[in-house]
Amino acid sequence: MSPLFTPIRLGELELANRIVVAPMCQYSADEGCATDWHLMHLGQMAISGAGLLILEATAITADGRITPQDLGLWNDANEQALRRVLRGVRQHSPMPIGIQLSHAGRKASSRAPWDGGALLLPADGGWDCVAPSPIPHGSGEPAPVQLDAAGLQRIRQGFVDAAQRAVRLGLDLIELHAAHGYLLHQFLSPLSNQRTDAYGGSLDNRMRFVLEVFDAVRGTVPARVPVGVRLSATDWVDGGWDPEQSVALCAALRQRGCAFAHVSSGGVSPLQRISVGPGYQVGLAEHIRRHVDMPVVAVGLITEAEQAEAVIADGRADLVALARAMLYDPRWPWHAAARLGAQTVAPPQYWRCQPAAHKALFGATRVGQR
């Protein structure tokens, strides 16, 4: 059997294979509310044959959005809009669906990537950003507002409230976004966190807020819903967050019942220097997996079936996540199964598309087929 297409459990959730559709921001929401674009986009991803689909970074407060068009889950209207989309998707797909909960911190209030991605000032329709410390992300940007005790409590509660909404929506998994330079990552990295209170300075202090948010979310959702964390394992900047600190964080999270670590990198500093190439982040996932007994998801320029198969077969990670490769080829898991001699699932409307050389791709021949 193909290692990539073997089942795996994350907590109490069983996945049919090791392929994850990674969260991919669509910048297509209306005041945080999912739209018909999300129904189209998620509909494609949900019939892809992957083992798990994770919804894009979803803001837990209005000021936590990366852009004004970000998906959100901070009020009843957001919840109702997402319920409509999920209802449509689930009519035609049994795939487990998770959600990534996020606050953008000092990287909030930005223009969409196709509009340049620059900071959007309040005078132009943006808002004031918050962060662990009053240090702007980019030169020339105004300093964000440093979060005080009340601000920290507001954001902790925002994660809890969004997690409760996710449970009401019947989502199967929750991923906390502590990567890519967003708020939770900002607390971890000494480049963005220069506080002198209990949330800054030492590694334990810088991890404190992330662990508090995890504990609050894990404590509010049912045991059947796995809660994991996406992290940037390195800032790619000297003196920043690094793989050894990531191991310490993952060990602390695992003790608290963290179901998985989704390992990415970078995003907190424009000074980062990354050597990008096929599977360039897999070694980071492997490092954490070697030192912490928890399932690890590898991501980053994993584009070929044989490449993904080798990551799993060689024990470098437990799952692989694809983002841009899935946008380019929404049937990537079908094609991977065909190349690896495995089987996957597809809606019956598409059963007839199996090439002659792969007649068992979608399982045994159905009764009555001719």
HSE on the CB side for 62, CA within 13 Å?
10
**DSSP type of residue 134:** S
The H or E element spanning position 152 is helix 149-168
- Closest residue by Cα to residue 195 from 140, 149, 127: 149
Q: List beta partners, residue 9.
A: 14
Q: What single letter denotes the amino acid at residue 6? A: T
Catalytic entry in 182, 199, 328, 350: 182
Question: What is the C-alpha to C-alpha distance for residues 71 and 85, in angstroms, rounded to an integer?
Answer: 12
Strand 97-102 relative to strand 261-264, pairing: unpaired
Question: What is the C-alpha to C-alpha distance for residues 254 and 252, in angstroms, rounded to an integer?
Answer: 5
Terminal-to-terminal C-alpha distance of the chain: 28
CA dihedral for 211, 217, 220, 226, sign (positive or negative): negative
Question: What is the C-alpha to C-alpha distance for residues 74 and 99, in angstroms, rounded to an integer?
Answer: 13
At CB < 8 A and 24+ separation, what contacts does 343-347 make? 343/5, 344/5, 344/16, 344/17, 344/49, 345/16, 345/49, 345/94, 346/47, 346/49, 347/47, 347/92, 347/93
182 catalytic? Reply is yes
Cβ-proximal residues to 129 (8 Å cutoff; 6+ apart), any chain: 63, 104, 105, 106, 107, 108, 109, 144, 145
The H or E element spanning position 247 is helix 243-255
- Give the catalytic positions in this structure: 182
